[in-house]
Chains A and B, each alone.
Chain A
Amino acid sequence: MDDFEGKRILVIQTHGVETPTRTYSPLFYAMAAAAMEIETMVWFTMNGTNQLKKGEAEKVQLDLSSDVTLKTMLEQTMDSEVELRVCQQSMALWNMTKEDLIDGVEVLGATSIIDLALNSDHVMYF
């Protein structure tokens, strides 16, 4: 296992609850990166925004034989010290306010993605 300590990865999630099979992997990869001591952030935009609305993620359950939901994955991701950020303009498209967001997610303006991408060692798009 190579030593990637100090590196930064930005994960961009554009898919939401309407495509549940596209919601788990980005979070899983983010947790894996964090476990390798890589500074990791997930940026939610476009449809990715809707999974952050209170009450939505718990409805997404990929594996019916387990009790793991998208809500579980989001919580585990935050517990892994991955930072979650959401695009403010995308929130507006989904008629979401800050009060609609689950705890632990920071709202940033759309152009923040430029700084975040340029300051990352690698960007992963989903």
Chain B
Amino acid sequence: MAVREEIRGCVILTNLHYAVEDHSWANVNDDGTVTIGMTDVAQNMAGSILHAKTKKVGVVRAKGRPIATVESSKWVGPVKTPVSGEIIAVNEEVAKDAEIINRSPYQKGWLVKLKPTNLDAEIAEMLTGDSAVQAYRDKIEKEDLKTCAHVEGFED
């Protein structure tokens, strides 16, 4: 069950797994697939997202490789997958309305789903629960990241 924590207005859901340095989250689904997205901190740092392009279904990605390119008016960069696997689904809504990532980074703004190839080992390297919250708290304070602002209709 998701517990919602907030650090400088930035939402962290404790049920997800995080690669804090890369600002990505992973959720292991009941069928063993993994959904990947970017965190609330990331969407806030990016600003209003104008375009997002994901890699295609069928592409195999190693952990740490980009699964999407996201661009705002002031930033463009990759979203890296925290786990290895084959992309089995992409979020078509993101291509139509990239701002969905700003509005719903953990729900409707998911980026890709993977069929993982090394899940146990790689998920163990990610942070979840209280450790994820603390790691993000440390990062936000160390880098003095600004308070997260949320667009109208934001949902976590």
Contact = CB atoms under 8 A, between A and B. Distances in A.
Given A36-B66, A37-B65, A1 B55 contact: yes
A28 B55 contact: no
Contact of B76 (A1, A3, A32, A68): A32
A36 B77 CA distance: 8
A76 B76 CA distance: 9
Interface string B71-111: 10111111000000000000000000000000000000000
A41 interface: no
B56 interface: yes
Contacts of B54: 1
B13 to A, nearest CB: 26
A35 B76 contact: yes
A52 interface: no
A31 interface: yes
A111 interface: no
Contacts of A37: 65-66, 78
Interface residues of B, number: 17
Interface string A17-40: 000000000001001100111000
- For A1, A3, A63, A80, the residue with the greatest tally of chain B CB atoms inside 10 Å of its CB is A1
Given A1-B56, A3-B55, A76 B75 contact: yes
A50 to B, nearest CB: 23
Which secondary structure dominates where chain A touches chain B?
A: loop
A68 B66 CA distance: 25
Given A31-B76, A31-B77, A76-B75, A36 B69 contact: yes
Interface of B: 53-56, 59, 65-66, 68-71, 73-78
14 contacts: A1-B53, A1-B55, A1-B69, A32-B69, A32-B71, A32-B76, A35-B76, A35-B78, A36-B69, A63-B73, A63-B74, A68-B74, A76-B75, A80-B77
Given A3-B59, A36-B69, 19 more contacts: A1-B53, A1-B54, A1-B56, A1-B68, A28-B76, A31-B76, A32-B69, A32-B76, A35-B70, A35-B76, A35-B77, A35-B78, A36-B66, A36-B78, A37-B65, A63-B73, A63-B74, A68-B74, A80-B77
